[in-house]
Amino acid sequence: MPELPEVETIARKLKPELIGRTILSADLRWSRTLAAPSPKKFREQIKGQKILDVGRRAKYLTIRLSSFHLLIHLRMSGDLHIKDSTDQPEKHDRLIIKLSGNHSLTFNDTRKFGRVWLVADPTEIFKTLGPEPLSKEFTSHWLHSALHKKHRRLKPLLLDQTFLSGLGNIYTDEALNIAKLHPLRESDSITVKQTEVLHEAIRTVLKEGIRRNGASIDWVYRGGEFQNYFRVYDREGEPCRNCGTKIKRITVGQRGTHYCPRCQRL
C-alpha cells in the first residue's frame, strides 16, 4: 500500500478537485470495500453531502463532508482517481462516487484489501494510532522515551501503527539506513544520540518522499519518483550508496527488510 508520503501526495492532488463538489450518488461495486456503515445507510447518508476539505491522517485519506467524514484506507493496492461521470467503470473499480460537475471519484483496488468508512466522528477510528511523524508532538525526546518503554526490534516496532503512524515497509527501511541502525536492534538499547539521528532520519525520508510525490513500484504507478532514490529498499545485492557493500535482504516479521550490513551493524 501507499505509505504516508503516497497518501499525502494523493490528498494534495485530490483536494482542489474535490472541495466544493456535492456528492450525487455512490455506486458500491464490491460491498466488502465498505467497512461502515451498511451499504444502504452509506448510500442514503452520503447523498447530497458537500465536500468541505481533503486531508490525511496516518495512511488514511480523510474527506470532510457537511455532516460526516469519509475515510479511505488504500492498504496494498488501492488508488483514487477523478474521472468523467460518463467514463465506464474499469476492472477492479470498487466504489464510484458521482459528483456535481459531471465528475466522479473512483476507488480502484485490485487486491480488495482497501476499506472505506463513512462516520460522524473519525476520532473513534483513529484512537489507536500513534503520533504523526511530521507533527510537533513527534519529538526526539518522546521517541527515546517510547523506544525504552518497549523491548522490541526496531523494524517491526516502527511499522506498528499504534506506536508511530504512517511508516510502511519502504520508509522504515530507508529511515533505519539513514540512521545507521540495524533493523533487528532492540528498541530499549538505543542511546539518546542515536534516537536524535533516527528521529531526524524518519522526518527527512518522509519529507523526501513527499517532495518526490511518493514512490511508484510494481504495476501501481501514481506519478511519484521516489523509487529512483531508494537507498536500500528493493536494492538487494546492489552497492550501498555510502560504503559500496552489497545491500542485504532478510525477513523480519514477515516483511522483506533491506539494510547495509556494514553501515547498519547490530
Partner DNA sequence: TAAAATGTTGGGTA
Partner DNA sequence: ATACCCAACATTTT
Binding site for DNA (CB under 7 A): 1-3, 6, 32, 58-59, 73, 75-76, 91-92, 110-113, 128, 150-153, 156-157, 159, 161, 168-170, 215-220, 222, 234, 251-256
The distance of closest approach from Cβ of residue 78 to DNA in the complex, given in angstroms and rounded to an integer, is 9
Q: Check: CB of residue 29 under 8 Å from CB of residue 93.
A: yes
Catalytic residue among 59, 94, 115, 185: 59
Which residue from 229, 195, 238 is spatially nearest to 209, judged by alpha carbons? 229
Active site residue 29: no
The distance of closest approach from Cβ of residue 182 to DNA in the complex, given in angstroms and rounded to an integer, is 13
Query: Is the omega angle on the peptide bond into residue 131 within 30 degrees of 0, that is, cis?
Result: no
Catalytic residue among 2, 131, 133, 156: 2
Backbone angles phi, psi at 154, to 5 degrees: -60, -45
Pick the closer one to DNA by CB: 47 or 151. Answer: 151
Catalytic residue among 3, 6, 8, 174: 3
Pick the closer one to DNA by CB: 49 or 213. Answer: 213
- Give the DSSP letter string of 44-68: HHHTTPBEEEEEEETTEEEEEESS-
Pick the closer one to DNA by CB: 106 or 169. Answer: 169
Pick the closer one to DNA by CB: 65 or 114. Answer: 114
Active site residue 59: yes
Rounded alpha-carbon distances, angstroms, from residue 2 to 76, 125, 160, 215 = 7, 19, 15, 8
Active site residue 255: yes
Which residue from 215, 220, 212 is spatially nearest to 235, judged by alpha carbons? 215
The distance of closest approach from Cβ of residue 147 to DNA in the complex, given in angstroms and rounded to an integer, is 10
The one-character DSSP state at 106 is E
Catalytic residue among 15, 255, 261, 262: 255
- Give the DSSP letter string of 164-233: SSS--HHHHHHHHHHTT--TT-BGGG--HHHHHHHHHHHHHHHHHHHHTT---BTTB--S--GGGG-SST
The distance of closest approach from Cβ of residue 206 to DNA in the complex, given in angstroms and rounded to an integer, is 13
Q: Check: CB of residue 103 under 8 Å from CB of residue 84.
A: yes
The distance of closest approach from Cβ of residue 22 to DNA in the complex, given in angstroms and rounded to an integer, is 30
C-alpha cell at 224: 511519484
Active site residue 2: yes
Signed CA dihedral, 235, 236, 239, 245: sign only: positive
The distance of closest approach from Cβ of residue 252 to DNA in the complex, given in angstroms and rounded to an integer, is 7
Pick the closer one to DNA by CB: 86 or 128. Answer: 128
Pick the closer one to DNA by CB: 13 or 255. Answer: 255
Instruction: Just list the catalytic residues.
Output: 2-3, 59, 255
